Structure 1
Amino acid sequence: MNISATPDLGTADAVLESGHGRPVAGRVVLDYEARCLRRKRLVTAEGASFMVDLPQTISLAPGAAFVLADGRAVEVVEAREPVLRIEGDLPTLAWHIGNRHCPCEIAADHLVIRVDPVLEAMLLQLGAKVTRSLAPFRPLGGAYGHGRTFGHNH
């Protein structure tokens, strides 16, 4: 898609939590990596472009929305992406995943990581049941704050 030929919504310089109640100018579908940003031009699912220019890098929470200069919002939709659903001895499996500094979503009865053939082979060797699927990826944030951690200088 040629971004220069798309309608321009202007600039977003703030982010709102879900349930913002503002008029919606569009929706942007972002995977886990793309939901961590500070400054970037994005294109909505409807084909309009806008510039994100935030004061600092953030990790967008589910349901977040960018605030445009005119007060409208561009809602963030989590993309479905290739993930591994992991079942088995969860404490042991989670330890091995964490030991490799791999982002991990933790539920009561399973773990979820992005598809990684090396980790998949390791988990299978450890006796895990591993199922490939497409789903939004929502790993836990760091221990020293919300969202992702950016290095080890806590």
Structure 2
Amino acid sequence: MDDYPNAVRIHSHVHHACDTVALDYEGRFLRRKRLVAASGRGFLVDLPEVTNLTGVEAFVLEDGREIAVQAAPEPVLVVRGDLARLAWHIGNRHTPCQIAADCLVIRQDHVLEAMLAKLGADVSRDTRPFTPEGGAYGMGRTMGHSHGHDHDHAHDHHP
């Protein structure tokens, strides 16, 4: 089967998609990468800068066709309990978190799962699309605990 032409830009909303591509949280952070759509046809994403996709956009191909981006299901932890307190602990560990009215959702991590259970949370495993809150600094992502390659510091992660 032939490949699609390259994807050269993104629409913030899908208009008339000819295909779809499902990407997990990590996969939705890209600039240049070869992807395979649901139809099995490949295409190269070649964007001018690193882009953080949320799962509601569409790649625009060189010929004008669109491929809709979907958030792929992935292993997550669903956290219930004292959500404000639990969200503080999750955020203090620089962990991406999806916030709903009745639960918090984070990617599966056995260390965080044990910590949250110790804090009294009701934690269950699930597989679902993960669409965490965007970061406060423009990219829509937290930097993770390392804060990037050139950032070294110490700080207390306990209340």
The number of residue pairs the alignment matches comes to 146
Question: Which secondary structure state, in structure 2, belongs to the residue aligned with residue 94 of structure 1?
Answer: helix
Distance 2:74 2:142 in 1: 21
State how far apart, in whole Å, the 2-side matches of 1:141 and 1:13 are.
Answer: 24
Q: What is the CA-CA distance between 1:21 and the residue it aligns to?
A: 2.2
User: 1:138 aligned to 117, 127, 131, which one?
Assistant: 131
Alignment partner of 1:9: what SS? coil
Identify which of 2, 26, 51 aligns with 1:7: 2
1:91 deviates by 1.3
In the TM superposition, 1:86-105 aligns within 5 A as 86-105=79-98
Contact 1:17 1:61 in 2 (8 A): no
Moved over 4 A (4+): 149-152
CA distance in 2: counterparts of 1:120 and 1:148, whole angstroms: 21
1:10 is paired with a residue whose SS is: coil
- Shift of residue 72 of structure 1? 0.3
Output aligned runs, 1:101-140, within 5 Å: 101-140=94-133
- Give the CA deviation at 1:149: 4.8
Q: SS state of the match for residue 135, structure 1?
A: strand
Q: CA deviation at 1:131?
A: 1.1
Corresponding residue for residue 58 of structure 1: 51
How far apart in 2 are the matches of 1:149 and 1:39?
A: 21
For normalisation by structure 1, the TM-score amounts to 0.89
| 8 Å contact from structure 1 (residues 90, 110) kept in 2 | yes
Unaligned runs of 5+ in 2: 149-159
Q: CA deviation at 1:147?
A: 1.9
2:154 corresponds to: none
CA distances 1:105-129 after superposition (whole Å, capped 9, x unpaired): 1112210000000000000000000
- Report the CA distance between 1:38 and its aligned residue: 0.2
Q: Give the aligned partner of residue 155 of structure 2.
A: none
Name the residue aligned to 2:60: 67
The TM-score normalised by the length of structure 2 is: 0.86
Aligned-pair Cα RMSD in Å: 1.6
Identity in percent: 56
